[in-house]
């Protein structure tokens, strides 16, 4: 299981730490200047884990935010590193409210 996310933008601010529910899992928390961010996880019960893929949830002001175009009212699972980076670029481009 690869727990190292290949992050394309070295300027993105993020924290990486073990996942709270799975000591063998990992969580990345991204924060963008527009107030949005993302939680990117890979753990036993995440969508895509069995295929070594990531799950992403959009955050707004540090809290889960479901009303967005990236996750369409939920989380997105089964994402490759490239797809995660694409989602992060889109979230970073959201307009501040």
* pLDDT at site 21: 75
Flag whether 4 is in a domain. Answer: no
Flag whether 7 is in a domain. Answer: no
Flag whether 23 is in a domain. Answer: yes
The domain total for the chain is 1
Flag whether 82 is in a domain. Answer: yes
* pLDDT at site 97: 67
Expressed as residue numbers, the domain containing 79 is 13-92
Flag whether 28 is in a domain. Answer: yes
Give me the residues of the chain with pLDDT under 70, please. Answer: 97
Q: Name the CA dihedral angle for 75, 45, 10, 86, rounded to a multiple of 10 degrees.
A: -40
Identify the helix (H) or strand (E) that includes residue 15.
Answer: strand 13-19
Flag whether 74 is in a domain. Answer: yes
Q: How many residues in the chain?
A: 97
96 DSSP assignment: P
Flag whether 5 is in a domain. Answer: no
pTM, full prediction:
0.92
pLDDT in tens, 1-16: 889 999 999 999 999 9
């Amino acid at each position: 299981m690869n727990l190292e996310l290949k992050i394309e933008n070295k300027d993105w601010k993020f924290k990486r730490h073990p996942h709270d529910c799975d000591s063998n899992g990992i969580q990345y928390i991204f924060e963008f200047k527009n107030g949005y961010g993302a939680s990117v996880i890979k753990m036993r019960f995440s969508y895509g884990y069995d295929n070594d893929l990531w799950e992403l949830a959009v955050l707004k002001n540090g809290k889960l935010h479901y009303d967005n175009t990236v996750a369409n009212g939920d989380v997105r699972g089964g994402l490759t590193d490239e797809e995660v980076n694409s989602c992060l670029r889109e979230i970073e481009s959201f307009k501040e409210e």
